[in-house]
């Protein structure tokens, strides 16, 4: 009986600790999403322009990004790159009101994606596709 009570208290403490950690991670992600670089940084790759809207822990590396970039990502409004085990992983997200978007493919799902699928505390960046795209310019990037 005493052991059951102790086990239950321990489970409640662990759950409270997890909720506290998740809330603080989510708050820091939300704060950093709102913080933009002072001058917009525009990247051109695959004939598309992207703005770096977030560069958490200096996750942005243009050379590695250009090597990992795939044309499949062109359909998305946002690209998130996260680092794990010295490897860059790229994932595309749509804007929230995009007709092809599902709940877990919209940018509002980004916080959940980072919490659930990325290494804890990893460096990452967020690119947003610019609305005005270049007119048939020379290809720089991939």
Taking the chain (142 residues) in runs of 10, the rounded mean pLDDT of each run is 73 64 52 58 90 96 95 95 96 95 94 94 96 54 49
pLDDT tens digits, 7-26? 777 777 666 655 654 554 45
Where in the chain are the domains? Answer: 36-129
pTM above 0.85, yes or no: no
Correct CATH for 36-129 of 3.40.50.2300, 3.30.70.270, 3.90.1200.10, 3.50.4.20: 3.50.4.20
Burial class (CB in 10 A: 0-12, 13-18, 19+), 46: middle
């Amino acid at each position: 009986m005493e052991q059951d009570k102790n086990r239950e208290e321990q489970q409640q403490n662990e759950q409270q600790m997890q909720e506290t950690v998740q809330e603080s991670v989510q708050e820091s992600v939300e704060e950093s999403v709102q913080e933009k670089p002072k001058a917009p940084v525009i990247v051109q790759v695959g004939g598309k322009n992207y703005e770096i809207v977030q560069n958490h822990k200096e996750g942005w590396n243009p050379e590695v990004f250009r090597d990992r970039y795939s044309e499949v990502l062109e359909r998305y409004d946002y690209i998130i790159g996260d680092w794990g085990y010295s490897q860059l992983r790229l994932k595309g997200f749509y804007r929230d009101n995009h007709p092809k978007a599902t709940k877990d493919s919209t940018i509002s799902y980004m916080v959940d994606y980072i919490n659930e699928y990325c290494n804890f505390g990893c460096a990452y960046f967020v690119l947003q596709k610019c609305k005005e795209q270049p007119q048939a310019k020379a290809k720089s990037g991939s």
